[in-house]
Structures are given as structure tokens and as C-alpha cells.
Amino acid sequence: MKLLCSSFQEHKNAVVIPLFEDKTIAKDVRTCFSNEEMGTIQLFLKQEREWNRGAVHYLFLPNGTHILFVAKGTKEKWSIRNTRVVSRCIVAHLKQLRISEASVDCRALLVDGYDEEEIFELVATEMMMADFSFDTYKQSGRQEKQHEMIVHLAVAGSASKKKALTSAVERGSIIGEEVNSARVLSNTPGSDMTPDIFADRAQKECETHGVTIEVWDENKIQDMGMGGVWGVGKGSVIKPRFLILKYEPNARQSQPLVFAGKGVTFDTGGLNVKPGNAMYEMHMDMSGASAVVRSIIGIARLGVPVNAIGLVPVVENAVSGESYKPGDILTSITGKTIEVLNTDAEGRVILADALGYAQQLNPKLVIDIATLTGAALAALGVQANAFFTNNQESEGLIRDLGEKSGDYMWQLPLWEEYEQEVKGVFGDVANTGKSRYGGTIAGAMFLKEFVDYPWAHIDMAPTMVSSDGDYLAKGAKGTGVRFLIAVARHFAAKK
């Protein structure tokens, strides 16, 4: 799909008009139609129809133009969240109708408190996400030519305003493309996305977009003392990798942003093997790693003037005679020991080494992102990610940027009262909590043991995959890419 900014005056073979339930069409939109056409439109809109948010009604004019009326709901409830959903809804229906070119009244998607550039960028991102499908392994997907569509986002005003909005749409398209690229990585089956393949793909993409990357093999991982990464990864025939991505455009910035992503390319649970019905989607247990790789590349593509480093441990949690075992004591890169109580709590074990390594980087802020616990899904459902932070300044920032980016965040406690949950008996820290309750908090408390800097942990398990009403293809959602890019842009703007 290609997104452009143009005048609404130019009718395409489809026109999209978002409307509130009062069905009032803006004056400048009405002037785009003849009196006869407006008569037909008004007659159509007077008919009794459902007008809840997301409802779409089609009108086919005699001149061959499709009109899609998209319900926005009530003015009182219109929000930035509604703009996201309606933007995706529009693309979903255009694709369903196999429309080749459409004009959208994007001004009808504006929200109080946000300027036009912000909304046009957001709409472009969400539309790109809605255009995505993962058909690589379908015979029809390989044989059919992908439906190409051009969507014009209507603008009005001066040439300079159009230029600014065009730039906003280009930025939004890049962000959407990076989200979709993360979804490709996460959706790819585990047999075709092993640690070495993931590292190779990341290396090629980084080289293309001006991001430097260093890939450590199993020997380097052991030499560096990353006992967590090696402990989890050694049980697989395909040995682990550790990736360091660097985008450093600002020579005067001494403290980089650091993003760390959990990269478990397939999670059997290890010797504490998962039940069959819990293993199906475990090729997506590297979605945090996908988010970090694609967000660093996105930051580079956008030219954000901030130094950003990505740390990505990549392993396969397999079952073999060499797999790590309950009762094992692993020594992390910090020297702190990890007592293994359950091999299916492996994500935090590999992140411990990434977070420990980050201590050497003098970071301004470290954010790790991981599909860490099913408990987060139980706590929050499928709409929000859990986050924790040891930095009071970051609390409001993470929540606000989550809302602004669309990767919604909800804070859970990181209180010292929970510290006993992860105290080890024979090692310094245990990789699961003592209680059956509060598993998400126990995971965060474990990770907290390996940081000595401003830090936030995001448990993205609740939004790993798309859900009903998202208007997104089934499979990985690409969570985290929009948020991490928003974090980088925020700190760049503070300079």
C-alpha cells in the first residue's frame, strides 16, 4: 500500500468519509460532489442503519465511485484510540472490496489536543499495520499477486502545510513498515527462525540501514561470562547468539538509550516441558527481540538524533541431554548466581545477562521488553502491557508514550516487600517466585536484581498477538516497535 497526501477534490474510484452518529458531512467535502450526488448521499444517510464506531456502509454512485461511510460513534467518546481503530477499519474494508485507489477524509480523524501532523503520522502507521498479512507459507500467498492499493489522505491548506503533512505520512509509513517487519520475524516458524538465522537477518538489515551490529557466537558468550544465555541455549543443536546493535549519530551524547529484547526463537519449556496446547505460539517468544531490532532500525531510518543501543540474547529453549536442569546454578555476567527452579522461566534468565551487560554502557535509560509471563495476560487481558520501573521520572513518561504510540502500558508495583519472592536458597536469586500468585511481579523483581541504572521492564505477553476488533491480521502484533521509537524521539526532542 502506498500512502499519499492530496486534495479531496480529486475523486478516486473510492471515497472514504468518516462520520459521527449525527451524519453531518463537512462543507468542503460536500463541495466535492454534484448536487445530484449529494441528494443521493443525503437520502442514503437518512435511512436507518447501525452507527456504532467501526460500522461501515457502502454507497455506489452512478459515476462508478464507491463511497464508504465509516461510523466514528459519538463526538463525546471520540479519542486518539478511536482514530487508531477507525484508521485500521478503513483499510480492512478497502482491501475487502479490492479497491485500487481511494481518497480518505483524514481531517475527520483529527482529535482535540493533537495537531494535524501527529494525527496524519498516526493514521499512516495504523493503516500500514492494517495492510499487513503473513502469507509466506500459503500456496495462494505465493501464487497470487499482492493487491496493490494507493490511499490518498485528504489535506487542505497551503503548499507548506501539505509538505509538512506529507512528511508526517512518510514518517508514519516508516514506523508502520517496521512494526510489520517485526511481525514477519515473530510469525516465522521456529524451525525457520533459529538463533543463527535471526542473527543473520538482523545483520543484513542493520547493514542496509546504517546500524552497526556485533554478533557473539556461543564461544564469545561463554568467554564474556553470560552463564544465563549459555545455560538456556546450550540444550539446542542451534547454539545461542548475542546481538549488540548500535545507532550513534550524536557524538556529544555520552549516555545512550538501551533497549533489551527477549529472543527465545522457540520455547518448549525445556525439561519443565510445556503442555501441547501451550506450545503452539511459542515461536513468537522472541517478539521482544523483534521489537528491539526493528525499533533500532526504525530510529535510524527516521534519522532520530539520539544514540540507541539494542541488546538481544537469542536462544532456543530445547529439550535434550544438554539442557539446563531444575536445581542448576548459573552464574550471570554480573557474578550474581541464578538458582533454576523451573526451566520454563528462561526469558528472565537470558535477560539477566543483557541487563548485566548494560551496566557497562553508562545508559541514560534501559528498557527491556519481553513476552515474559502468562500472568500478565491474566492480570490485564489483551489490551495493555504491564510495565515496571525503578525510576520515578519514567512512570508518567512510559504511560504517556504508551498512549501516544498505541502500545498501551499499565504500571504494576516493584515494591521491596516482593523481594523475598525471588531470594534463592542455594543461589543469589531464584528464577521463579515462591508463591503461585503475582507471577508478573516476580519476573520483574528477578530482573531488578541485575540493574544499577534507570530501568523499565515491559511484559508484552498480553499483546503478543492481535485480538478481535484490532482490524489486524492474525498472528504477531508487532508490539513495542512504536513505543520504543516514541521513547527515542522523546529524548531526542529534549536536547
Beta bridge mates, 337: 331
Cell numbers of 107, please? 481531517
Told to judge if 183 belongs to the known catalytic residues of this protein, a careful annotator would answer: no
Pairing of the two strands 212-216 and 241-247: antiparallel
Pairing of the two strands 455-459 and 329-331: unpaired
Strands (E), 20-100: 56-60, 66-71
Query: Measured in whole angstroms, how far is the alpha carbon of residue 356 from the centre of its chain?
Result: 24
Strands (E), 105-256: 150-154, 212-216, 241-247
* 434 annotated as ligand-binding: no
* 470 annotated as ligand-binding: no
* 344 annotated as ligand-binding: yes
Q: What is the rounded CA–CA span in Å between residue 408 and residue 411? A: 10
Backbone angles phi, psi at 201, to 5 degrees: -65, -45
* 400 annotated as ligand-binding: no
Cell numbers of 158, please? 497551503
Of the candidates 383, 208, 198, the residue with the CA atom closest to the CA atom of residue 292: 198
Asked if residue 211 lies in contact with residue 270, where contact means CB atoms within 8 angstroms, the answer is no
Told to judge if 2 belongs to the known catalytic residues of this protein, a careful annotator would answer: no
Distances (CA, A) of 254 to 248, 250, 429, 450: 10, 9, 32, 22
Single out the catalytic residue among 348, 448, 477, 482.
348
Single out the catalytic residue among 23, 30, 95, 274.
274
* 36 annotated as ligand-binding: no
Q: What is the rounded CA–CA span in Å between residue 325 and residue 323? A: 6
Residue 445 CB partners (closer than 8 Å, separation 6+): 414, 418, 419, 421, 422, 433
75 burial class (0-12, 13-18, 19+ CB within 10 angstroms)? exposed
- Specify binding-site residues for Mn(2+): 262, 267, 285, 344, 346
- Specify binding-site residues: 262, 267, 285, 344, 346
Please list the active-site residues.
Answer: 274, 348
